[in-house]
Amino acid sequence: MSSLIAVGFKDEFVADEVILELRKLQREHLVDLEDAAIVIRNSEGKVRIKQTQELTTSGALSGGFWGLLLGFIFFNPLLGWAIGALAGAVSGSLIDFGIDDNFIREVGSTIEPGTSAIFVLVRRATADKVLEDLSRFEGKVLKTSLSNEDEAKLQAVLTKA
């Protein structure tokens, strides 16, 4: 079962740094992320969400490939590619898995202007090594599905920074 963790930061750019660090840890097989997103609330108070998995683009590419393949079979590859790309883009934009966008917007609207937050859905992690790496970032746990004990450990590490 995956754990949801949302952490807020005092700067608009810290969440980007944290996601880069988590990707590095994922390459080292220390953390397995199912999904991640960043929310930024600029100084005017406008909320912007950055998804780490862009489903519309990948759907269009996949649909375009399969449409082109079917187009070759039925002797009209250009039409097949266009229809496949359109169908893939539409299905990619309609499919939402992982962290709910409405939840991200809801929590994102509660953070202060000029700050950011990161939302991660973690399948598994080597907690001691991941926490050690994340200890250089100062943040505040906003929401989590962790146990109270694990949430307290995470907040202690983020406060120590």
Q: Which whole number is the average pLDDT over 55-61? A: 50
28 and 16 in a common domain: yes
Give yes or no: residues 73 and 108 share one domain.
no
Q: Is the pLDDT of residue 56 over 50?
A: no
State the residue range of the domain holding 75: 55-94
Residue 78 has pLDDT above 50, yes or no: yes
Same domain? For 72 and 143 the reply is no
Domain at 119, CATH number: 3.40.1520
Domain count, the chain: 2
The pLDDT of residue 105: 84
How does residue 53 score in pLDDT terms, banded at 50, 70 and 90? low
Among residues 94, 119, 148, which one ends one of the domains? 94
Asked if residue 122 and residue 89 are part of one domain, the reply reads: no
Residue 63, pLDDT > 80, answer: no
Rounded mean pLDDT, 150-155: 84
Per-residue pLDDT of 115-130, as tens digits, reads 999 998 888 888 888 8
Residue that terminates a domain, selected from 44, 64, 94: 94
Q: If DSSP states are collapsed to H, E and C, what string results for the chain?
A: CCEEEEEEECCCCHHHHHHHHHHHHHHCCCEEEEEEEEEEECCCCCEEEEECCCHHHHHHHHHHHHHHHHHHHCCCHHHHHHHHHHHHHHHHHHCCCCCCHHHHHHHHCCCCCCEEEEEEEEEEECHHHHHHHHCCCCCEEEEECCCHHHHHHHHHHHHHC
* pLDDT, position 123: 86
Residues 65 and 143 in one domain: no
Q: Do 64 and 86 sit in the same domain of this protein?
A: yes
